[in-house]
Structure 1
Amino acid sequence: MKDTQFTEKSITITTLDNEKPKSIIIFGAESSGKSTLVAALAAHYNVFFNNEFSREYLDIKMNYAKYEDTHALTFADVEPIAIGQLCSEKRTGKLAISHNHSLYFLDTNLLTTYVYSKYIYEKVPFWLEKAIQDQNYSHYLLLKPNTKWQFDKQRGGENSRLFFYEKMKGELEKRNINYIEISKLGNERLQEAIEKIDTLIKLGLSQNQF
């Protein structure tokens, strides 16, 4: 049988001394390598990861409504994207618990939805802030947007990438959320992230100490 991220394997996973699995957010603007890194990290630690829901949502809307790019989205789409993101995050967390995993990875989270809604539509669904606070995410790895820009129809452009990187970083700092920035490229990017996470596992740090 072909292995997938849901296939059980016999690899021993290093555990943290905690009651709940840690949710590690791979955070950053578009085309900064989040999807590649989150899949590689999940494979390295043999744990579950969650894809960014908005890309799946937009892909479906573009295919069925025959839109060509991100103009398919309006503010009316923000709430279903946020709900889908939240549901998929909870599903991944439950999978981690059921398999006794100590951590799992998220490719973006509700804070990403919040930032894009705030700066594109200049408004945010009223319940989103509380939902973000209730999630109690464990740790953030912020990806520096220094990777080569890769075009696809779901992306706004390289200037947009830099703009939203600054806004996302500012949102973390405004909320006093500790984060570590990942800035190396290629295979070194993965290794840098692994080293940071291994340090977290070794020290068993909480978010406020990370």
Structure 2
Amino acid sequence: MKDNQFTQKSTIINPITNEEPKSIVLFGAESSGKSTLTKELANYYNVFSNPEFSRLYLDTKMKYANYEDTNALTFDDVEPIAIGQICSENSTKELAISHNHSFYFLDTNLLTTYIYSRFIYKNVPFWLEKAIQNQNYSHYLLLKPNTKWEFDKQRASDEGRQFFYKKMKEELEKRNINYSEITELNEKRLQEAIKRIDFLF
């Protein structure tokens, strides 16, 4: 890597092949910097990124149904969140393909929905496991929750953040999913992620 880690790269173009773009999932508990790092990486590589659908869903529900915090969500919301996540990811993938990008970034995925549903509601939609198995991602970046915890109405607590980080790491290990753990802070976090991606791809 060159010293200037923040110089935007030219869009990475695939030759005309049948190869699909690589998908890189930013994975981790709440307030671990996923959304910020997803945007920074997409900007650096000049490719597309997919936002976390559950936040968009909860924002809408809180706004129009007058809920004030995460209690706005129930188990009945898990299925529409999962469906929305799938549709959103598919749209971003199609954009990457249409622009001949080599890869794209995702701010969480269905596995996050599965883990939160299992531990918060003690239940998971019957079809979600099959849907997860049908998803094929190139690599996961697991973000260690060592950033300062920031309160907002969609978040629970720092204790909850640490709990779900452990469960997410356990789930990756149990499923034999390839991942890299991102542990640096501030600007070094982006540099660490870039170095890892450039090494892998």
TM-score interval, normalised by the smaller of the two chains:
over 0.9
Matched, 1:167 2:167: yes
Q: Report the Cα distance in structure 1 between the residues aligned to 2:127 and 2:98, rounded to whole angstroms.
A: 29
Task: Tell me how far 1:11 sits from its aligned partner.
Answer: 3.0
Pairwise CA distance, 1:112: 0.2
Q: Which residue of 2 aligns with 1:34?
A: 34
Instruction: Quickly say closer, same or farther: Cα 1:14–1:157, change in 2 above 3 A.
Output: same
Which letter maps to 2:196? K
SS at match of 1:133: helix
- Hey, which bits of structure 1, 4+ residues long, moved more than 4 A? 14-18
Residues 150-165 of structure 1: pairs in structure 2 closer than 5 A: 150-165=150-165
The reply on whether 1:80 has 2:80 as its aligned counterpart is: yes
Correspondence list, 1:34-183, <5 A: 34-183=34-183
The aligned counterpart of 2:12 is: 13
Deviation at 1:137, TM superposition (A): 1.0
Name the aligned partner's letter for residue 142 of structure 2.
Answer: L
Equivalenced residue count is 193
Percent of residue pairs identical: 72
Assess if the C-alpha contact under 8 Å between 2:13 and 2:100 holds in 1.
Answer: no
What is the alpha-carbon distance in structure 2 between the residues aligned to residue 129 and residue 22 of structure 1? 22
* Displacement after TM superposition at 1:75 (Å): 0.1
Residue 7 of structure 1 corresponds to none
Unpaired segments ≥5 residues, structure 1 = 1-9, 202-210
- Mapped partners of 1:164, 1:12: distance in 2: 34
Residue type of the alignment partner of 1:52: E
RMSD value, Cα: 1.7
Q: Deviations over 1:57-108 (max 9, x none)?
A: 0000011111110000000000000000000000000000000000000000
Unaligned runs of 5+ in 2: 1-8
Determine the C-alpha separation between the residues in 1 that align with 2:57 and 2:13: 34
- Paired residue secondary structure (1:100): coil
Find the aligned partners of 2:198 and 2:14 in 1 and give their Cα distance. 11
Q: CA deviation at 1:138?
A: 1.0
2:120 maps to a residue whose letter is I
Deviation track 1:2-49 (CA, whole Å, cap 9, x = no partner) reads xxxxxxxx9342659970101100000000000000000000000000
User: CA offset at residue 193 of structure 1?
Assistant: 0.1
1:182: how far off? 0.1
Query: 1:129: how far off?
Result: 0.7
Q: CA deviation at 1:135?
A: 1.2
How far, CA to CA, are the matches of 2:55 and 2:19 in structure 1? 32
Q: Pairwise mapping of residues 191-210 of structure 1 onto structure 2 (< 5 A)?
A: 191-201=191-201
2-side partners of 1:195 and 1:24: how far apart?
Answer: 14
CA distance in 2, matches of 1:103, 1:156: 32
With normalisation by structure 1, the TM-score equals 0.89
